[in-house]
Amino acid sequence: MLLGARITNLWCFQRPLCTKSPRLCAKLTFSSLSDSKVLHSIDADCDDDFLPWLERKAGVEISSFLSIGKSAYGRSVFASQKLRTGDCILKVPFDVQLSQDNLRPKIKSLMGDEIGNVAKLAIVILFEQKMGKDSEWAPYISRLPQAGEMHNTIFWSEDELDMIRQSSLFQETVNKKAQIEMEFWAIKPALESFPEVFNHIKLKDFMCAYALVESRAWRSTKGVSLIPFADFLNHDGLSEAIVLNDEDKQLSEVIADRNYAPKEEVLIRYGNFSNATLILDFGFTLPYNRHDEVQIQIKIPDHDPLREMKLELLQRHCLPSIKDINGFKSSKDSFTIKEVRSAGGKRKGLPISLRAFARVLCCSSPQELCDLAVEAANNDGRLARRPLRNGSQEILAHQLLLSQMTQLTEEYNASIKSLDLVTSPSMCKRLSLRKQMARDLLIGELRVLESASAWLENYCTTSAPTFYSCPG
């Protein structure tokens, strides 16, 4: 995700790097933070070793406000004393952060410009892991999650991915795995030049390191950075606390966004991410996520006699030309739907571009399409952004969308019910966790679809009398 607005010398860190919208990710491997706010036990291993090591390396105090502990869900950060809103609770200097700048010069010289910062930082992690106890970063590297502890969908089996096939996350996962594999083969020749360090490095090793970067790093003015200690902070979608980068002081810091009692878990916000993003990049979900969204695709039927004319009109005014691998034009268009919290029409509800697409789709004569083109040219150039003059067709366009939402709702309900049939005697703990994540994802997206349906039903019901009473 982009850094955000600059405030004097401070930059906001957001925790997402890549994928469809730039976004970094996090380390959580559970489905809810609601039960993790009470300290279960002090993580003596971290308190007695890790934090003193980091402060010695930094030469300054990292934090006197926080301690690392263990909740029911693993390593977390807790208030070691009473915290007040506005307290600066954590400061991590740039020179004790890992970035692509830590890549050994000889290795870096063999990598082309096509290799991204995430992949380069993944190589840094692999290098330090291979160094073992001889690594100057060993106290940090040794505390990073192992492959079996990560639940990003790129690590799901085919059977597990079938649980989310209804969601666009399924295809996003397939694309992400292909992207990582492509980057691996691009860097493999460079790695093979250093067999003493990278001997027997496989795709799965690189994928794990890549996921660690995407799930823990922040984008900064330096590129991509892993910030020791700060990445133990867990996510709360409602928190206002974020990681800030102070260029003048050359450090990253966290400001408390509210009061905390001693032994209460301290949380920050990674970003405004849907459950689909959280699973793909972070490996966890929220039981209720107000940022959930659904990607839908609608195509112009092949049998539509005006199909080519509609495609040309859409391409000219709003859509780029899309071709499949055989060279044929695609008639699909993708739209992102968010939850409509007002079915009463006080808010616009659905994306204007989706409603415009439906208006073009329901046109039944060349003249109607020409009229839309003229209207767009005489206004702001955007196509079908206003209600159609023909009231019955305006209603028809929205009924078309309603039909689409209804069909998707039925399919989502079927997918959710089918989760009860997913069983496996082996690895039941992992499967149970991922089933719950799949359920959180599908239920959240179903909620979005149902809100869109309610809005469309209201629009068709309340608008029909108005349209039909208009003269002409």
Q: What is the pLDDT along the chain (472 residues), one digit of tens a residue?
A: 222 222 234 444 555 443 333 334 333 333 334 444 554 444 444 445 888 999 999 999 999 999 888 776 667 899 999 999 999 999 999 999 999 999 988 888 888 778 889 999 999 999 999 999 999 999 999 999 888 889 999 999 999 999 999 999 999 999 999 999 999 999 999 898 898 888 888 999 999 999 999 999 988 776 789 999 998 898 888 888 888 888 889 999 999 999 999 999 999 988 889 999 999 999 999 999 999 999 998 889 999 999 999 999 998 886 544 443 333 333 457 899 999 976 554 555 688 889 999 999 999 999 999 999 999 998 888 899 889 988 899 999 999 999 999 999 999 999 999 998 888 776 688 899 999 999 999 999 999 999 999 999 999 998 765 655 554 4
Q: Is 288 exposed, middle or buried (0-12, 13-18, 19+ CB in 10 A)?
A: middle
CB 50: neighbour CB atoms within 10 A?
A: 20
pTM for the model stands at 0.84
- The rounded distance, in Å, linking the Cα atoms of 109 and 46 is 36
What pLDDT, on the 0 to 100 scale, is given for residue 68?
87
pLDDT on residue 472: 44
Residue listed under structure tokens 């019910």: 417
Q: Which runs of E-coded beta strand occur in 64-154? A: 66-71, 74-79, 88-93, 98-99
Work out whether strand 98-99 and strand 218-220 pair parallel, antiparallel, or are unpaired: unpaired
Q: CA–CA separation, 99 vs 190, rounded Å?
A: 19
Q: How is residue 330 annotated by DSSP?
A: P
Quote helix, strand, coil % in the chain, to nearest 5: 45, 15, 40
| 47: exposed, middle or buried (Cβ count in 10 Å: 0-12, 13-18, 19+) | middle
Nearest to 161 by CA among 435, 409, 444, 416: 435
Report pLDDT for 88: 93
What amino acid is encoded at 10 in this protein? L
Distance CA(226)–CA(240), nearest Å, equals: 21
